[in-house]
Amino acid sequence: MTTLIHSYWAYLVLIFLIAATVNALRGWISNKEFSPLDRRLSLGALVVSHVQLLIGLFTFYLSPLFDSLRSIGMGAAMKNAALRKALIEHPSTMLVAIVLLTIGFSKHKKKTNDLAKFKTLSWYYGMALLLSLAMIPWAQWLAE
């Protein structure tokens, strides 16, 4: 059940993250004024991503894959490409993406001009989006 929630919540994360990244890029390129709507969109992407992290961690520890990791050990898991991606690469890369979102949102608040806010959000949210897209298990996702 948690895997299903994690999978469907990911659509919401992608929608918010793409919207926030495109919005930040558009604001940076067009040199527009940073509005409360821009802030809410960035915050929304941050919040749904953090909720996804919590759901993902819960799913990870309840997963039968985690039990297999404990039984076969890290060395054997690293030699198996499917296990390595599911147990190591996906969680760690997604964690890095969420850290980038958090840093970007925090740094943008300290900027004094609108262009710098949009630029900061564009870089950090853009990197997080690219990492997320790279680590989504597309084969599983599209099969559902």
Q: Flag whether pLDDT at 143 surpasses 90.
A: no
Give the tens place of pLDDT for each residue, 107-125.
999 999 999 999 999 999 9
Give the tens place of pLDDT for each residue, 26-82.
999 999 999 999 999 999 999 999 999 999 999 988 888 888 888 888 888 889 888
Positive or negative torsion for Cα 86, 92, 96, 99: positive
Tell me if 67 sits within 8 A of 88, measured CB to CB.
no
Domain count, the chain: 1
Which residues are CB-contacts of 19 (< 8 A; sequence separation ≥ 6)?
Answer: 41, 45
Please, where are the H alpha helices in the chain? 2-30, 36-62, 64-72, 74-79, 81-84, 90-110, 114-135, 138-143
Give the tens place of pLDDT for each residue, 15-28.
999 999 999 999 99
Q: What is the pLDDT of residue 73?
A: 85
Q: What is the pLDDT of residue 134?
A: 94
Q: Flag whether pLDDT at 87 surpasses 80.
A: yes
Count Cβ atoms below 10 Å from residue 16 Cβ, excluding itself: 21
Q: Flag whether pLDDT at 144 surpasses 80.
A: no
Residues 129 and 133: their CA atoms lie apart, in Å, by: 6
Q: Does residue 73 come out as left (phi exceeding 0), alpha (psi in the -120 to 50 range) or beta?
A: left
Domain membership of residue 94 as a residue range: 2-143
Please state whether the predicted TM-score (pTM) of the whole model is above 0.85.
yes
Q: Return phi, psi of residue 111, to 5°.
A: -75, 145
Average pLDDT over residues 124-133: 97
Q: Return phi, psi of residue 34, to 5°.
A: -80, 115
Q: State CA 50 to chain mean position distance.
A: 8
For residue 131, the one-letter residue type is: L
**Predicted confidence band at 141 (pLDDT cuts at 50, 70, 90)?**
low
Q: Return phi, psi of residue 33, to 5°.
A: -75, 140
